[in-house]
Chain A
Amino acid sequence: SAVISQKPSRDICQRGTSLTIQCQVDSQVTMMFWYRQQPGQSLTLIATANQGSEATYESGFVIDKFPISRPNLTFSTLTVSNMSPEDSSIYLCSVHGTATNEKLFFGSGTQLSVL
């Protein structure tokens, strides 16, 4: 499986500010996704990061709040904008290598706390 590096691993932020999370993969991957895991909850898919085009957002998530970049096949960023305490969560980058292999592998996650 690919090695996925995610940073920062954790951060504490003030409300109203923004945080950009980076995800670097050690090999080219077809699909990259961003998930959120709120305390005691399941993983919720935020969006699919598309290389060279706008991300595809799931219901309930919008680009203005969670802008995503994917400039190439090994890197993506997720920004959490204008943060509020409700954004406190773990954010996870995930990848799978081929279009036919739906096994997902996760980065180590970013623990975000918003005060």
Chain B
Amino acid sequence: RKEVEQDPGPFNVPEGATVAFNCTYSNSASQSFFWYRQDCRKEPKLLMSVYSSGNEDGRFTAQLNRASQYISLLIRDSKLSDSATYLCAVNIVVGGSTLGRLYFGRGTQLTVWP
């Protein structure tokens, strides 16, 4: 079983739509969760951290469900500029230590069309 499983997509939505991505993780000891955005042929860039209480940044909302071991990203009022691949990331825990290492999901491709 992979450490991080992510909706493969692709998601193709019209402008203004709401779209949600999910990501499940296998290590219940994981403590840190993130969403990254990756544009074509570019490096991943941190979009937002995911906190236990859920957090919002403008049109983006991230949530964590520890019981079911998944994180989600909701994008409201999609813009053309939101078209990208979205990667979830979960910290690697080995022997009670993370040492800053992250596992990444495969990424979900989003295309927003006019």
Q: Are B42 and A108 in contact (CB under 8 A)?
A: yes
Interface residues of B in 3-53 (CB under 8 A from A): 4, 32, 34, 41-46, 49
Q: Are B43 and A106 in contact (CB under 8 A)?
A: yes
Q: At the interface, yes or no: B87 with Cβ under 8 Å from chain A?
A: yes
Q: At the interface, yes or no: A78 with Cβ under 8 Å from chain B?
A: no
Bound CA–CA A103/B102 (angstroms): 9
Interface size class on chain A is: 20 to 34
Q: Are A45 and B100 in contact (CB under 8 A)?
A: no
Query: Interface stretch among B58-66, B67-75, B76-84, B103-111?
Result: B103-111
Which of chain B's residues have a CB closer than 8 A to the CB of A45? 92, 101-103
Q: Report the tally of A-B residue pairs with Cβ distances under 8 A.
A: 55
**What are the interface flags for B80-94 relative to A under an 8 Å C-beta threshold, 1 for contact and 0 otherwise?**
000000010101100
Bound CA–CA A107/B54 (angstroms): 28
Q: Are B46 and A102 in contact (CB under 8 A)?
A: no
Known contacts A41-B106, A42-B106, A42-B107; decide if A106 and B44 are in contact (CB<8 Å): yes
Q: At the interface, yes or no: A75 with Cβ under 8 Å from chain B?
A: no
Q: At the interface, yes or no: A3 with Cβ under 8 Å from chain B?
A: no
Which of chain A's residues have a CB closer than 8 A to the CB of B106? 41-42
Q: Are B100 and A108 in contact (CB under 8 A)?
A: no
CB distance from A6 to the nearest CB of B (A): 9
Known contacts A41-B106, A42-B105, A108-B42; decide if A103 and B99 are in contact (CB<8 Å): no
In the complex, 13 of the A-B residue pairs with CB atoms within 8 angstroms, ordered by the A residue number, are A35-B104, A42-B4, A42-B105, A43-B104, A48-B100, A96-B100, A99-B100, A102-B102, A103-B34, A104-B46, A105-B46, A108-B42, A109-B42
List A residues at the B interface (Cβ < 8 Å).
1, 30-31, 33, 35, 41-45, 48, 56, 58, 92, 96, 99, 102-109, 111
